[in-house]
Amino acid sequence: MTRAQPKTYQVTLPDVALQVTEWPGESDPVLLLHATGFHSRCWDSIARRMPGVHIYAVDVRFHGGSDRHGEVDWLLMASDIEVLLDQLDLNRVVGVGHSMGGYLMAYVGACQLRRFRQLVLIDPVILPRQLYAQLFVPVDSVRPADSPVSRRKNQWRDAGEMYERFRDRPPFSSWQDQVLRDYCDYALREVPQESALQLACDPLHEAAIYLRHQGNEAIYELLPRLTIPVTVLRAPPDPANPGNLAASPTWPGLAGSLPDARELYLPGMSHFIPMEDPALVARIIREALDGSWGDR
């Protein structure tokens, strides 16, 4: 069965317009949230493997085709997704999130549990609780411009130049080729009065998301509410190198702290699990939809 082409549209909420990519289908809805710096079309290789599945992939605020205004705040981004769920009136949702998107999905799932049937959290940025205290700094002292992330190359001729630059460089060199092409094809935007294309997720926004964890420890108060089945996919950590973006940031005790969860530990993979093995992620989502794991 051939996967139909998706449709892309804006959903206007009271405070922000979010871009949604929707693949029509007959199943319960699957809601996909991407990682920091990425966009909804990074899920294309997974969607292609799930013909007939009704998929909504969202560009989180500051990313892709969504609005970029406001101060960077993880709980604000989570609130956006809560309002989007209400606007689209999605129910019996299988919620899937990678990295930052995994944190947001866990937060939203706990706050709107009635709308979800299962969650799939792919190496979510839910840190060990004690780290939130260690990482806390006053908001006005966070300087995204001092982060190396803020100095990412941000002038591009086209997606082809981006692909050629990244394909042999870690962590992109471990990605499946089509996933990297999808990332590059939708990662750039035109900017008025600029001849070159720029990243849709501005490097300063990306750096701020990495640095601003204020309030994120609130997820620990919400985890007991996640009484629906949850699958956690986790790559190996790298305690000796906290700056290694290819290592898992996920608290190893996460699955064990949830009322109804399983963990799939993937020692041969990096943090970029959906990019390295989209077939595995598609299979896990199918299991959630089919009720072959978790549904009672």
Answer for the pair 107, 100: CB distance below 8 angstroms, yes or no.
no
How far apart are alpha carbons 145 and 142 in whole angstroms?
9
Provide the residue type at 294 as one letter: G
Q: What is the pLDDT of residue 1?
A: 57
How far apart are alpha carbons 164 and 177 in whole angstroms?
11
Q: What is the pLDDT of residue 6?
A: 95
Element (H, E) at 276: helix 273-276
**120 contacts: CB under 8 Å, gap ≥ 6:** 94, 95, 96, 97, 230, 231, 233, 281, 284, 285, 288
Give this prediction's pTM: 0.96
Please measure the distance between the N-terminal and C-terminal CA atoms of the chain and give it in whole angstroms: 29
| Token duo for residue 170 | 């870690």
- Rama region for 63: left / alpha / beta (φ>0; ψ in -120 to 50; rest): beta
Topology (CATH level 3) of domain 7-142+212-290: Rossmann fold (3.40.50)
Half-sphere exposure of 253 (CA within 13 A, CB side): 7
How far apart are alpha carbons 67 and 81 in whole angstroms?
13
Residue indicated by tokens 């992109």: 172
| Domain ranges across the chain | 7-142+212-290
How far apart are alpha carbons 169 and 147 in whole angstroms?
20
Q: What is the pLDDT of residue 20?
A: 98
Q: What is the pLDDT of residue 122?
A: 98
Q: What is the pLDDT of residue 294?
A: 67
Q: What is the pLDDT of residue 295?
A: 62
Provide the residue type at 63 as one letter: H
Ranges of the chain whose pLDDT falls below 70 = 1-2, 136-142, 294-296
Q: What is the pLDDT of residue 2?
A: 66
- Rama region for 266: left / alpha / beta (φ>0; ψ in -120 to 50; rest): beta
